[in-house]
Each structure stands twice: as structure tokens, then as C-alpha cells.
């Protein structure tokens, strides 16, 4: 079993996506100025079309170059296709590093877990985590689990991975909430754990723990984490309930699985995003 020694968030060019940019810049500053975690930085490589096309249609990939908004949440930006591909490249680099026994996170945006096979939505253009999971499965991983703790349901990841052999998806999220899915399990391998808005923190955390227990029963040989920090109680987007300590606990609990693992940043829009990410990374690193 691999042990993690190096904390190596993969971060590179700053990506200007809506309100998400300030949080990332501040996170980089915090991580660069702290001394508790040994951090090695890396920039993403390049990605071919082939791994992307396992998850998305060629039409969707071409559509990213057309200067027209995708929906109200998901505008067209100059070079958005290149930025989205850089996020995918970081996800694939993270997969590789995890397999080499490194403790690795990607702080790249745009995020990915809402992106569907044929459609960008919810700030997401390409589904980074689904692409990485399908790459893992195509290159020898027998049992890959996705753990999605973003406050929104990872509808795109679910739609792309449903009934794929050797893959399982576990998502804890608020419902009713955007994107309006995730009320029940789907197919043979997608397990959803909805929490009602207004439920206390204890309920939310117990639900995260239940999802993690079920993930353990799947006995994964690789864990891919959709790490969203918007279930935080003070996040401006929705009514989450978690506090800083819960993100440390999430990191610690995932570390305790003792399985190669990588984390990809999804949502998280509060001023405290840097502290939340730092707490999670400390948990993952066992500090
Ligand atoms: Zn979210």
C-alpha cells in the first residue's frame, strides 16, 4: 500500500473564472507563506483529445471554441477551451502522481463535476474528474471510487460514469439545490446522499461519514475526490452547514483509507476558502 509523504498541490496559471479567482489567488498566497506543510508546486502538462473524448462528445469539445455563452452560469471566455484543458491536464497529472505514491491535489479551475458529455453547465466546461477516472480505468485501475463532497450534486460525473464497470460514485450534497438532481441512487454504481437545507452540521457530517463508509465497502484501489468547499456554513452561494474543522476531518478520513488518492478542486466561494483548503490538505497529509 502506498504511503504519502509529499504534499504536492498542482497549481499553475491563474484562471480568471468569475468570482472564483480571488479565492485561488489567496489560497496560493496562504500555501506559499505557511511552513506547516511541505508543498511542491507543479504546472499542468498538455492533454490530447483522446482521454477527453472518453467522457465528452467531439461536438462538445469543438463547441468550447465557439464564442457564445453556454448558460447563465457558464459564460464563454476568450480561450476558455484552453483553460478547461489545462484543468483536465492537471487532473491527469494528479492521477499519475497519486499512482506514484504522492499526496496530490489540483487547485486548478474551472471545476468540472457539472459538465455533461454534451454540455457545459454550472461553471464547468470539461469534467476533470470523470476524464481522470476513465483514464485510470483504461490504464489498469480495477476499482476506482469518486468521493464528491461539493455541496452541489455532481450530476455530470454521475451521468458520465453511470454503470461503468469498476467505477463507483459517492456524492453528498444539499437537495433541493442546484442542479436539481441527486435525490436517489442511479444505475448500479452511483450513490447519492442528499441533505436538506437547514439540517444541522451534525446531520451533514454524519451523512458524509455514511457515504465514506459505503465507499470503503466498495474496496477501491484508487480514490478520486471532487473537493468542493461550498458546504461551508458561510459560503455565499447556498445554505451549507460545515465548519473549518469538518474539512480537516474529511482530509483525515480520506487519508485513513490508505489507498492512492488525488483531489481536484470543485466549488467553494467564501472568503475563508484558503483556510478551508489548508485544513483539508493538513488532514490529508496527517499533520
Ligand atoms: Zn458546488
Query: In sequence order, what are the residues at sequence separation of 6 or more whose Cβ sits closer than 8 angstroms to the Cβ of residue 224?
Result: 95, 129, 132, 133, 136, 144, 145, 146, 147, 261, 262, 264
The residue assigned the cell 464528491 is 148
Q: Which helix (H) or strand (E) holds 73?
A: none
**Is 152 designated active site?**
no
Q: Output the CA 114–ligand 1 centroid distance in Å.
A: 9
User: d(Cα 111, Cα 122) in Å, to the nearest integer?
Assistant: 9
Q: What angle do CA 43, 54, 216 make, to 5 degrees?
A: 80
Q: Which residues sit with Cβ closer than 5 angstroms to ligand 1, an ion?
A: 150, 152, 228, 230, 267
Question: Whose CA is closest to 161, among 125, 136, 124, 193?
Answer: 136
| Neighbour count for residue 80 (Cβ, 10 Å) | 21
Strand partners, 226: 148, 264
Q: Residue 190 Cα, ligand 1 centroid: separation in angstroms? A: 18
18 Cα–ligand 1 center, Å: 14
- What single string gives the DSSP state of each residue in 101-158? T-EEEE--SS--TT--SS--BTTBSS-HHHHHHHHHHHTT-S-EEEEE-SSS--HHHH
pLDDT value at position 20?
52
Please give the Cα distance from 152 to 166 (Å, whole number).
24
Ligand 1 geometric centre to CA of 132 (Å): 19
Q: Which of 56, 114, 153, 173 is catalytic?
A: 114
The closest alpha carbon to 239, from 191, 211, 201, 266, belongs to 201
Single pTM value for the model: 0.93
Give the Å distance between the CA of 179 and the centre of ligand 1: 9
Q: By the 8 A CB rule, do 191 and 171 touch?
A: yes
Determine the distance separating the centroid of ligand 1 and the alpha carbon of 228, expressed in angstroms: 6
Q: Which residue has the cell 502538462?
A: 45
Compute the distance between CA of residue 204 and CA of residue 222 in angstroms, rounded to an integer: 25
Tens-digit pLDDT string for the chain (287 aa)? 222 223 344 433 333 344 455 688 899 899 999 999 988 888 888 999 999 999 999 999 999 999 999 998 898 988 999 999 999 999 999 999 999 999 899 999 899 999 999 999 999 999 999 999 999 999 999 999 999 999 999 999 999 999 999 999 999 999 999 999 999 999 999 999 999 999 999 999 999 999 999 999 999 999 999 999 999 999 998 989 999 999 999 999 999 999 999 999 999 999 999 999 999 999 999 98
Ligand 1 centroid vs 12 CA: distance in angstroms? 22
Amino acid at each position: 500500500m502506498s504511503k504519502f509523504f509529499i504534499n504536492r498541490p498542482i497549481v499553475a496559471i491563474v484562471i480568471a473564472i468569475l468570482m472564483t479567482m480571488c479565492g485561488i489567488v489567496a489560497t496560493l498566497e496562504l500555501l506559499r507563506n505557511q511552513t506547516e506543510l511541505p508543498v511542491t508546486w507543479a504546472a499542468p502538462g498538455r492533454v490530447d483529445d483522446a482521454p477527453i473524448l472518453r467522457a465528452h462528445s467531439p461536438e462538445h469539445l469543438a463547441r468550447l471554441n465557439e464564442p457564445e455563452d453556454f448558460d447563465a452560469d457558464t459564460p464563454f471566455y476568450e480561450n476558455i477551451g484552453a483553460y478547461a484543458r489545462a484543468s483536465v491536464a492537471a487532473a491527469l497529472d494528479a492521477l499519475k502522481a497519486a499512482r506514484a505514491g504522492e499526496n496530490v491535489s489540483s487547485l486548478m479551475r474551472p471545476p468540472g463535476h457539472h459538465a455533461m458529455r454534451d454540455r457545459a453547465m454550472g461553471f464547468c466546461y470539461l469534467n476533470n474528474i470523470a476524464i481522470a477516472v476513465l483514464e485510470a480505468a483504461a490504464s489498469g485501475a480495477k476499482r476506482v471510487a469518486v468521493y464528491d463532497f461539493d455541496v452541489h450534486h455532481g450530476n455530470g460525473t454521475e451521468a458520465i460514469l453511470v454503470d461503468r464497470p469498476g467505477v463507483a460514485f459517492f456524492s453528498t450534497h444539499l437537495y433541493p439545490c442546484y442542479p436539481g438532481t441527486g435525490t436517489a441512487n442511479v444505475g448500479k454504481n452511483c450513490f447519492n446522499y442528499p441533505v436538506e437545507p437547514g439540517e444541522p452540521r451534525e446531520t451533514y457530517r454524519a451523512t458524509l461519514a455514511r457515504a465514506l463508509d459505503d465507499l470503503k465497502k466498495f474496496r477501491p484501489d484508487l480514490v478520486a475526490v471532487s473537493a468542493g468547499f461550498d458546504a461551508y456554513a458561510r459560503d455565499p452561494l447556498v445554505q451549507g452547514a460545515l465548519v473549518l474543522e469538518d474539512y480537516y476531518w474529511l482530509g483525515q478520513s480520506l487519508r485513513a483509507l490508505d489507498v492512492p488518492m488525488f483531489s481536484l478542486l470543485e466549488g467553494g466561494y467564501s472568503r475563508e476558502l484558503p483556510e478551508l483548503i489548508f485544513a483539508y490538505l493538513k488532514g490529508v497529509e496527517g499533520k
